[in-house]
Amino acid sequence: MDTTGLDPINMSYVFSVEKSFDTRAFYDYMLQHWSDSLVYSAIYLVVIFGGKAYMANRKKFELRPYLAVWSGLLAVYSILGTIRTVPELIWALSHHGFEYSYCNNSYLDQGKVSAFWCCIFVLSKAFELGDTLFIVLRKQPLIFLHWYHHITVLVYSWSSYTDQIANARYFVVTNYTVHSFMYSYYALRAMKFQLPKWVSMFITSLQLAQMAWGVIIVVLSFSALTSGRECVTHYRNICYCLLMYFSYLILFAHFFYNAYVVRKQKKQ
């Protein structure tokens, strides 16, 4: 069997952009420009809250076709990201064990498919800010969880990439996976498909599980580090990450309670 052009981890075809992508150059770029994420976040907040004030006394835009295309593209991107990163995680677990999977950053090695998709993941967090424009222009409720989640993920992703932390292997894979469902749901809703209530509950439950799993991985990384075992992370990143994921867990749990428990009780 000719294995030329195949990924040795999952034996799938490696595209030229995945193989030739210069992860070192990207790393050097992020070292110099990760703080741009703070500027983007500030601009984002001005635009969305300024836009919200501007739209206060104006008729809302429908934008359904554009929202369907936007969400559909992000859904396809997330599905591809899931397909291309999950095999590397499975390989790490099956060949080296659980602790290796969150303490060794081999997923970022030059030439690996997962390295390319991790770089794209980091950049995508800036583009995903566009989600909020649809909320503002369509005059839908802009909740704290939405914009807080966007800016903290952006800043954390960009800053953490410069640390090359190992446990981000899980953060990238779980985010890609959950977003595959989430953006597919948004696209279908924008196309006026009537989906049962359990679908939205399932997606919110996935998000809750993602945040709980994030907390667990961070705690395990902290335990390995304090025990003197080799683990590619540091205490500052662990502190930021734990605060971020724990705050998400509380906010998503609060959202789930209000959206599904309280509303159900009111209907009854």
Which residues form the catalytic set?
Answer: 149
176 and 85 Cβ atoms separated by less than 8 Å? yes
- The DSSP symbol for 15 reads P
CB environment 62-89: b (16+ within 10 A), e (fewer)? eeeeebbebbbebbebbbebbbbbbbbb
Number of C-beta neighbours around residue 39 at 10 A: 10
Contact of 180 with 79, CB cutoff 8 Å:
yes
DSSP per-residue string spanning 28-78: HHHHHHTTHHHHHHHHHHHHHHHHHHHHTTSPPP--HHHHHHHHHHHHHHH
Rounded Cα distance, 7 and 77, in Å: 20
Which of 63, 230, 46, 223 has its CA nearest to residue 137?
A: 63
Q: Is 13 helix (H, G, I), strand (E, B) or coil?
A: strand
Amino acid at 51: G
Q: Could you give the count of Cα atoms lying within 13 Å of 42 in the half-sphere of its Cβ?
A: 5
CA–chain centroid gap for 113, Å, is 18
